[in-house]
Structure 1
Amino acid sequence: MNKRKRRSWTISIKLWLAMTLLILGVLGGLGLTITWLFGDFYLHQKLDSLRTEATEISAQLATVPSWSERLSLLETFKLTSGTQLVLLDPQGNILVIAGSTSAKAQGVGIGGQFGGIGGLLGGWSRTPLPSDFFTDDNLADVLAGNTISNKALPVNGGEQTMLLAATPVGSKPVQAVVLLGSSPIPIQESIATFRRLIFYASLVAVFLATVVSLIFARQVTRPLALMQKGASRMAKGDFLPIQGVSSQDEIGELAEVLNSMGESLKNHMEWLSQEKNLLQGIVESISDAVVMLGSDGNILYANDTAKALWQEHDVELSERKNQIESFLQSMSQNPDPSENYATFNLGIQVLQVVMAPMAETEGFRGYVAVMRDITASLRAEKARREFLASVTHELRTPLHLIQGYLEAIQDDVVPQNQRGEYIELVLEEAKRLARLVTDLQDINWLERGQSLQPVNLDLKSFLNEVYQRFQGRAHDLGLTLEIAKGNGEIIADPDRLLQVFINLLDNAMRHTPAGKAVRVLFETEENQVRFAIQDEGEGIPREAVPYIFDRFFRVNKARSRKDGGMGLGLAIVRQIVEAHGGNIKVESDMGKGTTFWITLPKEPNNVTVEK
């Protein structure tokens, strides 16, 4: 069922209707009131006039003793226009008729106002006389000495009326009755004329009211329309002041108030925007992940650091997000605030979570959780312990072997013919110690920001030297070594750059099975060169890729330190590449191999070429 559209009335229509109805009501009520009062007043005035006139005629007739003189006197009386005099004897018989009323006033004749005489006057063929309306009761009342006046119907019935006044002539006994009659039609015509006047005046008043109301409504509604548009703009965030309202009345004051309110809202919105930007800037600049939860436990807001926990290349990982939401929801349901502190394992990441409830506002309740990634600090602590254990083991084992072999040689425990073999073992262990010390020195040297010794390096010769170094080892391992031919020059430290390739190629050959290939790819661009060291080994697990360049990090911790090293090689590689102003990244697929990409500028800004 469709709802009926509600009809809207404009202020102009409302003002016009209000003024029109007011004028019509006032004029109509005034016309009815005046008509009723005027008709009643005029009727009584006419009756009083007839009564006075009848009394005067009766008094004059009473002074004349003979009837002949009375009749002569009657001929001298001048009656009021439209008044008829009938002189009756005490028995009600007509003695004299004087005066007359017009046919229009009496309504007689075939074409009179009241129609045919037969229709309204009961078949009369003459002009009605006052005596036709004078009843026996009226006669008895006058013969009793009273003067009467009233509005009466004819004795034989009908709707026509007449104003009567009757008074006795003489007293005890009454000699005659003076009866005056006048038609009320002139009064009725006057009232009808007055009503027409009121009607025409009402039409003129309605027209004037329409014109005035439209002009007035325009003066009133135009500023209101401007203020309505201004308020609509303010609702949309446009706080420009309202123009075009110049009146000094309440409407003008309302426009000033709206402008003042708009200015206040503008300032308040700017302040809120600044506060929001400040707060958002503070939250976004926090290195920790900040998450706001609703009362239902769903995430309402998260800064970029928090989003990075469940997003990868701007793609949301629903499983990780749901895992975080579930953990935070379980924390929010803990009634003990002191226990809203916990650690949470998200894959290989370890998060330290602190949660606090927000102040309840207008029935809304939520929580703020701060999550700090302590994986690096835990790993650093673990690496430090592993480093101490590794260094201790790496130093203790060769030192014990060296010490044991030398003591055996010194005590002549080792036969003379075997001493050369033992000395070679001692030398090998000493070399292992030297490599360990060298790696530690390199890390320390690079971390302290020691300057490189860059020169103009010919890439063709450099890559040829790399090939010559590893060709024999690749042959011994049953591998295919492919190194691209390089062209051009770059500014670099040749010894350090060679160390990068040695570490990467050594790892690639160690993890590539026989029959596979190890490749060194090369491409040059306008301002930089790119190298790729590619193998076909077992690959690196996806979760280990972000930490492959960390110090002391080893993917397969089950491998012996003799085979896998100390986990310092790739850390040294990254330090050397970044010292040249370049970057290194790794791509790996399990079972397909690993590729290390090295990008170096041809002329780094942070190094100085030695002359």
Structure 2
Amino acid sequence: MKWRKRRSWTISMKLWLAMTLLILLVLGGLGVTITWLFGDFYLQQKLDSLRTEATEVSTQLASIPGWSERLSLLETFKLTSGTQLVLLDPQGNILVIAGSTSSKTQGIGLSGPIGEINGLLGGWTRSLLPSDFFTDDYLAQVLAGNTISIKALPASGGGQAMLIAAAPVGAKPVQAVVLLGSSPIPIQESIATFRHLIVYASLIAVFLATIVSLIFARQVTRPLALMQRSASRMAKGDFLPIQGVTSQDEIGELAEVFNSMGESLKNHMEWLSQQKNLLQGIIESISDAVVMLGCDGSILYANDTAKALWQEQEAELQDRKLRIVDFLQAMRKNQEQTENYGTLKLGLQVLQVILAPMTETEGFRGHVAVLRDITASLRAEKARREFLASVTHELRTPLHLIQGYLEAIQDDVIPKNERGEYIDLVLEEAKRLARLVKDLQDINWLERGQSLQPVDLDLQSFLSEVCQRFQGRAQDLGLSLEVAKGSGKIMADPDRLLQVFINLLDNAMRHTPQGKTVRVLFEDQENHVQFAIQDEGEGIPREALPYIFDRFFRVNKARTRKDGGMGLGLAIVRQIVEAHGGQIKVESDMGKGTTFLITLPKDFNASSLE
């Protein structure tokens, strides 16, 4: 299973960004709203102030009947800084201009009619007057006795906006109109300053909120990161519980559930592992080969015994494996629902195969095959039959001779002067029967693990005795016998060891032509001694070498006295040598002769082999 590629935007970053954007939107909206309300409030407050002031001026002027007194009264008025006063007649003509809308406060310029005050207007030629924004409609409203306030937009010729209040002087008929105008620039500058403060405060708030939200986001997502790492560990088989999540909220509950799930998975995996190990241990302990086939016939599992069928020194033998797979697939196709039996031959190896179907709950179908090596049992059965045949033949022949000769003597068929010769033949056959019985007794004695009687054996004396025992027979057969001179001592049973040399030398002399040599060699090693019985006979075929020490095995199957007995001699030799803790090997080349190599330890402890 492939994991999805991790995105660059983590939950912590997303949460932090969302909180930051939310704070920006809230502070920005709040700043715009407050700025708009603050500006509107200040402008309305300024209009209300101008209206009140215009009403007071118009009331005071209306209380004075003459214009000269009114002009004198105007000189005493203290206008608010930045406020300009214009007095209009009922026709809208300017009578008096006083005050200034600039940032610098000027003294009140005051005069009589328009013609008399032209000299005082030099400072206003470049500034707009309240009357410039006062239209005929506004004039009509004031002449009707209303006091009005105006938010004037800039005139078409350019300039600045103006806040204006107009009040009538006198009742009907209205004698004049008082206009008070003020520039909104100071208010706008205050609003701009306030906006800057809002911006700076917002930036500081955003900075602090960013830090706080980042810390908060990390605190919130830290348990999630711990759970993510724990999930990654669980995917790799590490079911350690999550550490570091102490919150009591939903995340804390999720961590507890996650730990509970991990513990459950751990217990389940341990149970599955135990069941797997148990099943694998059972299968591996089976001496038979076990192979599991999939629904397509492929090998899903094979125990070590099965792998040994197609492996040699850890290298697969493809031909051998292919033969096994093809045989199992052929059996699988022949019968799907019930057990199937068959026999497979791999060279000298014979396998008995049992194939059974396997069905799982998910619907997966397969087969389990058990391959049992019956080569040894077949060979044992064959050896048993050969043994019975050999024993029957070897017993029947001398018994028939003995019976026949004795009956002939009893019936006087054989003359008395010839009976001695026939009695010798009967005695020879009886001795042959005795040797056969003795070999069988020896095999039985060695198989039952009877202990040897080791003593300090002097090798020089022992080899001299071997030479004396066989020297005469070698001369009778026209052979040359060479026996090396040994030295030192070993722990061995002299009778059993002599039996080994008797069997080997007897075989060597029987298979060596006249004029050839039989040798007994000796080599003294550090902890061992080695003997070699070497002949110059016809040799042993290569295919027979692995079985040369098996019981009842004979290279020449002809049952003649010349070729020997029942094939027990070499089996007895191997068991005696191994009972001494030694080893025996054979080397042979056809037409060149055979060499038996015997290696025996110097310090033999018979009790260690019991």
Mark yes or no: TM-score above 0.5: yes
Does the 8 Å CA contact 2:454/2:606 hold for their aligned counterparts?
no
Does the 8 Å CA contact 1:86/1:180 hold for their aligned counterparts?
yes
1:41 aligned counterpart, secondary structure: helix
Partner of residue 344, structure 1: 344
Counterpart CA distance in 2 for 1:542 and 1:361 is 54
1:340, distance to aligned residue in structure 2 (A): 3.1
1:552, distance to aligned residue in structure 2 (A): 2.1
Q: How does 1:553-592 map to 2 (within 5 A)?
A: 553-557=553-557, 560=560, 563-587=563-587
Counterpart CA distance in 2 for 1:591 and 1:30 is 116
Does the 8 Å CA contact 2:344/2:350 hold for their aligned counterparts?
yes
Q: How does 1:157-236 map to 2 (within 5 A)?
A: 157-158=157-158, 160-169=160-169, 174-209=174-209, 212=212
2:127 aligned counterpart, secondary structure: coil
Structure 1 residues 23 and 371, CA, compared in 2 at 3 Å: closer, same or farther? same
Which digits, 9 at most, give the CA deviation of each residue in 1:278-304, with x for residues without a partner? 444433332222334455545454444
1:309, distance to aligned residue in structure 2 (A): 3.0
- Give the aligned residue type for 1:434: A
1:566, distance to aligned residue in structure 2 (A): 1.5
1:185, distance to aligned residue in structure 2 (A): 0.9
Does the 8 Å CA contact 2:339/2:354 hold for their aligned counterparts?
no
**Range that drifts further, 275-284 or 500-509:** 275-284
Counterpart CA distance in 2 for 1:540 and 1:124 is 144
1:554 aligned counterpart, secondary structure: coil
Partner of residue 26, structure 1: 26
Structure 1 residues 463 and 366, CA, compared in 2 at 3 Å: closer, same or farther? farther
Counterpart CA distance in 2 for 1:557 and 1:337 is 47
2:38 aligned counterpart, secondary structure: helix
Does 2:445 align with 1:445?
yes
Counterpart CA distance in 1 for 2:50 and 2:153 is 17
Partner of residue 389, structure 2: 389
Does the 8 Å CA contact 2:512/2:536 hold for their aligned counterparts?
yes
Q: How does 1:123-522 map to 2 (within 5 A)?
A: 125-140=125-140, 142-143=142-143, 148-158=148-158, 160-169=160-169, 174-209=174-209, 212=212, 245=244, 275-294=275-294, 297-314=297-314, 316-358=316-358, 360=360, 367-411=367-411, 413=413, 422-474=422-474, 481-511=481-511, 518-522=518-522
Counterpart CA distance in 2 for 1:427 and 1:504 is 25
Partner of residue 93, structure 1: 93
Does the 8 Å CA contact 2:522/2:531 hold for their aligned counterparts?
yes
Which digits, 9 at most, give the CA deviation of each residue in 1:348-368, with x for residues without a partner? 122222334555487876544
Does the 8 Å CA contact 2:339/2:357 hold for their aligned counterparts?
no
1:189, distance to aligned residue in structure 2 (A): 0.8
- Give the aligned residue type for 1:320: R
- Give the aligned residue type for 2:341: Y
1:252, distance to aligned residue in structure 2 (A): 7.7
1:86, distance to aligned residue in structure 2 (A): 2.0
- Give the aligned residue type for 1:458: D
Structure 1 residues 64 and 383, CA, compared in 2 at 3 Å: closer, same or farther? same
Partner of residue 120, structure 1: none
Does the 8 Å CA contact 1:295/1:366 hold for their aligned counterparts?
yes
Counterpart CA distance in 2 for 1:303 and 1:482 is 53
Q: TM-score, normalised by structure 1?
A: 0.78
1:335, distance to aligned residue in structure 2 (A): 4.2
- Give the aligned residue type for 1:380: A
Question: Which runs of 5 or more structure 2 residues have no equivalent in the other structure?
Answer: 107-122
Taking only the aligned residue pairs, the percentage that are identical comes to: 84
Structure 1 residues 410 and 558, CA, compared in 2 at 3 Å: closer, same or farther? closer
2:606 aligned counterpart, secondary structure: coil
Partner of residue 114, structure 1: none
Does the 8 Å CA contact 1:87/1:94 hold for their aligned counterparts?
yes
Does the 8 Å CA contact 2:556/2:563 hold for their aligned counterparts?
no
Partner of residue 112, structure 1: none
Which digits, 9 at most, give the CA deviation of each residue in 1:352-386, with x for residues without a partner? 22334555487876544332222222222222222
Structure 1 residues 513 and 29, CA, compared in 2 at 3 Å: closer, same or farther? farther
Which digits, 9 at most, give the CA deviation of each residue in 1:446-492, with x for residues without a partner? 33344444433222222223233344555566665443332222333
Does the 8 Å CA contact 1:20/1:210 hold for their aligned counterparts?
yes
1:563 aligned counterpart, secondary structure: coil
Which digits, 9 at most, give the CA deviation of each residue in 1:169-203, with x for residues without a partner? 56765543333322111221112111211222234
State the number of aligned residues: 587
1:162, distance to aligned residue in structure 2 (A): 1.4
- Give the aligned residue type for 2:32: L
Question: Which runs of 5 or more structure 1 residues have no equivalent in the other structure?
Answer: 107-122
Does 2:49 align with 1:40?
no
Counterpart CA distance in 2 for 1:523 and 1:385 is 41
Structure 1 residues 490 and 189, CA, compared in 2 at 3 Å: closer, same or farther? same
Counterpart CA distance in 2 for 1:257 and 1:535 is 84
1:352 aligned counterpart, secondary structure: strand
Q: TM-score, normalised by structure 2?
A: 0.78
Structure 1 residues 235 and 588, CA, compared in 2 at 3 Å: closer, same or farther? farther
1:309 aligned counterpart, secondary structure: coil
Structure 1 residues 345 and 592, CA, compared in 2 at 3 Å: closer, same or farther? farther
Counterpart CA distance in 2 for 1:586 and 1:312 is 23
Counterpart CA distance in 1 for 2:393 and 2:499 is 25
Counterpart CA distance in 1 for 2:522 and 2:177 is 151
Counterpart CA distance in 2 for 1:343 and 1:318 is 20
Counterpart CA distance in 1 for 2:306 and 2:473 is 47
**Range that drifts further, 486-495 or 187-196:** 486-495
Does the 8 Å CA contact 2:336/2:357 hold for their aligned counterparts?
no
Does the 8 Å CA contact 1:348/1:543 hold for their aligned counterparts?
no
- Give the aligned residue type for 1:192: A
